[in-house]
Amino acid sequence: MRRIPCLAADMTVFSEAERTYLKSQRLGRLATVDQHGQPQANPVGFYPQDDGTILIGGYAMGTTKKWRNLQKNPKVALVVDDIVSLRPWKVRGVDIRGEAELLTGPHELGPHFSEELIRVHPRRIHSWGLEE
């Protein structure tokens, strides 16, 4: 698998509650920064890994603006959240800030994904509403 180097040295570790929550969700919003310094956020499928990173795959990922943005600036934010109840109002989520590593080659996420993947290395994690 060909890799574009990641600048992340030390990753932040997810708590057990954060890991459990992330594994229960399917959709998040990935924010990248374009060449003009403008933010771009897109819904993405994500897959927490045992090593503490997050994989993001998609259809034709290597042709997307987020992929081009990350080639120039690896900084990312991934927000995963949901509404538990409206009355009383209860929301929960995880905000992950980190650096992306761009991967190209065979992987095990499934045949409907292109060979390009984004691996997020968490540097800062903030969560809310995960306590029972």
Give the CB-side neighbour count of residue 49, counting CA atoms within 13 A.
Answer: 16
Place of tokens 């538990």: 84
The per-residue pLDDT for range 73-88, each reduced to its tens digit, is: 999 999 999 999 999 9
Q: What SS3 state is found at 122? A: strand
Alpha-carbon distance of 119 to 102, in angstroms, equals 6
Q: What is the distance between the alpha carbons of residues 39 and 131, in angstroms, rounded to a whole number?
A: 31
* Calpha distance 6→61 (Å, rounded): 18
The answer to whether the beta carbons of residues 108 and 73 sit under 8 Å apart is no
Q: Where do the domains of the chain lie, and which CATH numbers do they carry?
A: 2-128 (2.30.110.10)
Cα separation of 129 and 10, whole Å? 26
Note the pLDDT tens digit of each residue in 6-63.
444 567 899 999 999 999 999 999 999 999 999 999 999 999 999 999 999 988 999 9
List the alpha helices (DSSP H) in the chain.
16-24, 65-72
- pTM: predicted TM-score of the whole model, two decimal places: 0.88
Q: Is 60 exceeded by the pLDDT of residue 5? A: no
